[in-house]
Each structure stands twice: as structure tokens, then as C-alpha cells.
Structure 1
């Protein structure tokens, strides 16, 4: 197809076509359990490359699926050009203004490392390798969401390429409609090449993981419920049921506190009343070290996830959670929400009023295991008090935007998609038209 064979004359960045030595690696998503068929892969050198590619795609009837490194991939890419934005990696910190200008390919960990020397922080999640732009486009949950809300709430501007191939600077004042859609509505409306994000003061941070044998799970869960019932917005606490291959089941509590160590230890004191843990990694730390708490993999791998939002964690829910072993799942995580996340938010998702998030993860090592993982995930969802909604960044490949954003917001997003991209040039991981 001529539209593909001429790509190397359109952009300056690397182009990978089927049959090229690097094509298979270039098209591979982060989740290796997802098959991602594409017609070509383009690694944009800069925003000019993105604009040239969009104009070429529109004129030839091709679609573009944009990914920095493939997190959140769903495989809905048949016949598209996969646009990799990892090379758009500029990062500038304006400490005086409390702002960061972040290229679309910049990972969260790099932003944290750059902001930390100024006593500032972004709104990082559990993984340091996920792009800031990708998280913001999905709304974005963070360690500090209870204090500051969605990641998207802190975005003050986007640099984009629209469906006509024009480079634009989008703010709430210059284009309120597109600005609203991009702050949590996904990548269906434009290619984001950079964004401006508000930073927050973080002169002190205390956090880490405490790990016990699974036999102590009832007591740990009780302590977790007591802590989260009275937690100030600066404190975030997650609970993890863990069962790794070749190891005994365990239970962990992960915590961060934006404040001094003495106050943090007092807020977490119910943990000190429990049996001696296997390990206790709590300490004063830098915001650049947040990725060490859960120690999530920093290399691609296969996985199956399912997320739900819990309407509560009462005695019945707690008993249900611990009723049976989690196997074949590797982890069952409960994240405490609330705080600023439940407050006003001019984003497609809106306020996150459910007090907890549930995240279920397993590895589909073979078809039988994949079915068992899905069955176990379904069993948790069927027996725990779930609302039926979930954050965009927690959606799995079998789900759609309708599973995340409210119906009125989805209707509005679809209308914006029809107006801004009538030829469907942009194909996000979770298309709003599905």
C-alpha cells in the first residue's frame, strides 16, 4: 500500500513496516497478553513529525493509534499506524510557578526525579514507567489523589495535533470543549504532544510497605479499615493480598503520607499493634522513590486485570474478601480513595464518590489458567459491593468507556469526537464511539 511505503518520506523518525527486522518489537504492547495488529509503526521525532503523520493519515484514509510505550493497549488497532511518542521527552520544571512542561513520552518516574530537588511533586501512580500524558488522558489515580484529586485536574494546558494536522496549544480559555475532553476522556480527539501540569509542595514524605504472612490477614484488614476510616487527605493506604508463584500467601499494607514522620507513625500506629511483620519498609523518603513501594515490574509482561469501585468495606465485605485463597490471582489490591477525589471535578469521569478501588491481577500463562483467572476475578466482583463503574486507566481490553464515565459524559464525548474528528483518524485504546 503506497500510503504506508511512503511513510519514510513523511516523517523523520523511525518507521517500521511488516517484514522489517524491528517491526514485531516496535508494535508490541506493554501487556504481552494483548495481540496488537497494526499496519505500520512510526516513532515520531517531534511534534512536527506528528503533524505531518496526521495530515498524511487523513489524506490517505488511515487511522492513527497513539501510544508512548503501550500501557493500556487493547488490541483495537487493526489496520492503523501505531504512533509511538516516547521520543517526545522534553521536561521543564518551573519551580517558581509550580508548573512542569512535560513531553508526551515522559514517564512518571522521570517527572518525580526532576521535581523532587525543588520540594515539589506531580501526582504519580504506583508505576514510575507509565507516561504522565497517558495517565492524564485517562483521568489518573495517584498516591496523592486524596489530597489533590485526579491527575487530569492538575493539567493546565495541552500541546496537541488536531485531526487536521494543526499544532495547537489548548487551555480552558482557548478551547474549553477539547480541554474538557482531554482531561480524562482518552486519546480519541487529538494527539497530545506535551502538557503543562501543576506541581504540589512536598517538603516531607513518609511511606513504604509492611508485609505479613497471610495467617494474619484478618487482623491486618481490621487495622487497615480503622486507619482508612479516620485518615486525613494527606494519608493514602492500600491493602494487598499477594500470592506469588513458589511463595506462601502474604498480605501487605502500602502507605504514603505527605507530612512529617512523627505524625505519619501516629496515623499508622494500628499496624504496630499487629504481629511482627515479615518486613517493614516504612521510612522518610523522596517523592522520586515512590515506585519502590509496590515495586511493580518495569519491563513488559503478560497479565490479566479487572478493576471495580467498592461502595464500602464493611464487616460482610471484609469477610468475603478473605473467605478463600486468591489463587490463581497474584494480587488483590484495595486502594483507599475519597478526599479530593470525591470532590468537584470538571472532568469526564467527575467525582469519584466510591471510597475504595479493587484491582485484581493474574497471569494468563496458558488458556486454562486464563479462564481460571477470569473466573476468580468475576467471583470477587460478584460477591463484593461494587458500583459498576471504574476509572478509565483501570479498564481492561474487554471493557469500554461506557464502563467508566457516566452516560451524560459519554454522550458529550461522542459529540465532540464527531465534531473534532469526523473521519475517525484517531483510534484510542478505548474509543468513545464503541
Structure 2
């Protein structure tokens, strides 16, 4: 315990120790279904403070688990110091160079708000509250991945603290193996304090959600298949089967189009031939408003998820999706992939050639409900044509790097881990070590 109390003299940021006021709140993950045990929590004030913490950990033999706000937590933090990087919140935008320097504590929504006035966009996902750094370390799927690839493909540099406690800038030229690993291999190799992100032109954006009662699901799915079959890379369309507590089952289409609204409406014409929706929020919008499309929770909550990569959406697959109600799940989402995601990528994932990602989510209100949710997820996954691998960014606490990467990629990541962190200072949400 003396070693932990010495943390306060080692760092300038706030320290919470077990039993102290605020400790339980400080260690809490975003997903409240995950039990996260740690020996201490440190909220660093800057990169130099992170470096001081790493040097302290090296000397004392402690490990460090890094989380800006707890997204992606898997509970593999026992015996570690939990590092919060929320105060590393610098954000600098260079519109002429189409680059943003993004601190580790900066959220996707903050980046979008900063770049929107310049007619640019970053690589936002469905939630505006996740950290850009956390998403990029997991590869990252964006609304605009069909146009611009993995979120990690758009990172041009990392500012890190290495396992010796040194601040470094990592690029493809300065440290090619470490740069490769950080672009989608997770947080096992260094602590990222900031990254440089390529921005893209976004003078026009059209997006929103259409919502129908579940009786329309077969017709909506047919129209969805028609739209994605002809979709250019600028168009992203997701299908959602929804069943919220206290309401009837529904089906939704979520869409974004990087381009002229008139072109978007033409591409989406098959949807307009369907029965009148319960609601339709599609309209020209700012890239800063993307979080409104799916309206995901912006506060911590409990959930159980499972993702798969689906190899086809043929008639038998469509029938399997719709044969039974999704209950006790809240949502079953089908994301159209391909486009730039299927092209070469110098990242651990490499090309993502499967055409669809399936994401299933439910709430474990009690142990029986939790068991029912995981059983429904497992049954649906086993009934669908899947490739057997998953996006790293969608791994749940029961899964590992071997569920996301090919064996040779896992071995390369482990070799890089041994070279760059031989004493195992860094403890990622999903570790790469064997």
C-alpha cells in the first residue's frame, strides 16, 4: 500500500485509492455490466504526467490500464493502476493541411464540432462520446469507413509514452512496427497521449433514421438489400431490428451520405416505395450532428454485446434474421461494409472483405436475463453465415485477439509487445500477450 500512496508524489494529477471518497466512481467502466477492480486510479494532467506515472510503475512493478472514460472495458484490470486520460483534451485543427491533433481525452463529437465549420470531417462512429484515440487503437468503424477505410487508416502519427517512460512521436517512418501495431492492435504497446488524424472534405451531408413497425421488416429488408447493392462508397446504410422495453418491435434504417442531398434521395428511392414510416428524420445535416441519428446513450449503462461478420445477405440469411423476434435483445444491427474497408490496409486487421457487420445488444437486468441475452446472441450467430472473425473494436469481455486477427497477425503483435514492453507495464482492455 505504501507504494500506492507514493503515487501522489510521483504524479501531479488526481489519485484515488481504495476506500477513499470517489474511488468507486473513478474506477467505474462505461459498461456497468463489467466489474472493474483496480489498485488505484490516476487522472493525468498531461503527457509529462503520464511519463512520470510509467516510470513509477516500472520501478514499483505495477501495471497500467489506460481508459479515457471506460469504453471497451473488459474487466482485465486486476492489480493495475487505472489511468484516466480525460484531461489530455487538447484539440488543434489545421484546415489547410486537413489534419487534427487530437488529445487522448477528446471525444469524437468534440472533433466533429471543431471541424464542421471548415467543411471537413473526422472519422466519427455512431456515438459522439467515445474517445477518438480509443476507437483508433481498436481499428475503428466509422460512418465514413466505406469512403475512407478504418479509423486507424486515417491516423498519421501518435504521441506516446513508451514503457521506459519516454515521450515519443511514432510514425510510419520513425517506428514502423509500433505504428502498425497501434493502428488497430489495441493499447498493449504504449500509452497514446494524442494522435494526428487526417480530415476529409464534407461540404454536404445527408442523414437520418427511418422507423417502421416490425410488420414491415420483410419489405424494409428487401429494400435495404436493393439500396446497398448499388451503394457508392459515399453512402452508408445500416438496418436495425429494435425492441425497446415497453414498446412494440420496430425496424429502422440509418443512413449517411457524403454528398449532394438530391443524389442521396435518389439512391434511397427504394425506401420511399415502402409503407409510410412511423418517423423519418432524414435531412441535410452538419457532421457535428451525426450522434443524433441512432441517439445512443451518452451516460454509462449496463449491456451485453456480441458482433459477427456476415458473409452474405441472401434470401436464407434474410429469412433467418426475421424468423423469430429478437427479444430479449434490444437491438440487432446490420452494418453495410465494403467500399474502402475492403481495399488494402496496412493495419493489423488488413482489408475487411466481409460485406456486413452484425452487432447484437441486450441489457442484463438480472442473471436470468443475462443468460437469455447471451443465448439469443449465440443462437442467432450460429444460424447466420459468418466468417469466424470479428472487428477488434467490437470484441466483448469474453473474447480475445484470436477472435479478431489471423494467427500470423497475433504472433506479430506479440513480438512487438515483447520488444516494446518486455516488463508488461501496459495492460490493454484486450491484451495481445499469450
Q: Which runs of 5+ in 2 are unaligned?
A: none
Query: Counterpart in 1 of 2:291?
Result: 291
1:16-95 paired onto structure 2 within 5 Å: 16-95=16-95
The CA distance in 2 between the partners of 1:178 and 1:262, in whole Å, is 44
Deviation at 1:406, TM superposition (A): 1.5
Partner residue of 1:384?
384
Q: Which residue of 2 aligns with 1:412?
A: 412
Corresponding residue number in structure 2 for 1:351:
351
Please name the residue that 1:140 is paired with: 140
Distance (Å, rounded) in 2 between the aligned partners of 1:402 and 1:96: 41
Partner of 1:227: 227
Deviation at 1:405, TM superposition (A): 1.4
Superposed counterparts of 1:297-312, under 5 Å: 297-312=297-312
Q: Distance in 2 between matches of 1:145 and 1:380?
A: 26
Distance in 1 (CA, whole Å) between partners of 2:11 and 2:169 is 22
Stretches of 4+ aligned residues off by more than 2 angstroms? none
> Residue 124 of structure 1: CA displacement?
0.3
Query: How far apart, CA to CA, are the structure 2 residues paired with 1:361 and 1:206?
Result: 27
Show structure 1 runs of 5+ residues with no match: none
- C-alpha distance after superposition, 1:389-418 (max 9, x if no partner): 111110000000110111111100000001
In the other structure, the counterpart of 1:102 is 102
CA displacement at 1:83 relative to structure 2: 0.2
Give the deviation of 1:213 after TM superposition: 0.3
Give the number of aligned pairs: 434
Q: Measure how far apart 1:2 and its partner are.
A: 1.7
Q: Distance in 1 between matches of 2:86 and 2:402?
A: 28
Task: Find out whether 1:342 has 2:342 as its counterpart.
Answer: yes
Q: Distance in 1 between matches of 2:346 and 2:406?
A: 13
Counterpart in the other structure of 2:201: 201
Q: For 1:307 and 1:286, how far apart are their aligned partners in 2?
A: 29
The SS at the match of 1:290 is helix
Q: For residues 129 and 196 of structure 1, what CA distance do their matches in structure 2 show?
A: 19
Deviation at 1:335, TM superposition (A): 0.1
Q: How much does 1:3 deviate? A: 1.4
Q: Which residue of 1 aligns with 2:318?
A: 318
Q: Deviations over 1:193-237 (max 9, x none)?
A: 000000000000000000000000000000000000110000000
| 1:7 is aligned to 2:24 | no
Q: How does 1:124-139 map to 2 (within 5 A)?
A: 124-139=124-139
State TM-score, norm by structure 1. 1.00
What's the Cα RMSD here?
0.4
Query: Counterparts of 2:223 and 2:94 in 1: how far apart (Å)?
Result: 41
1:265 Cα shift? 0.2
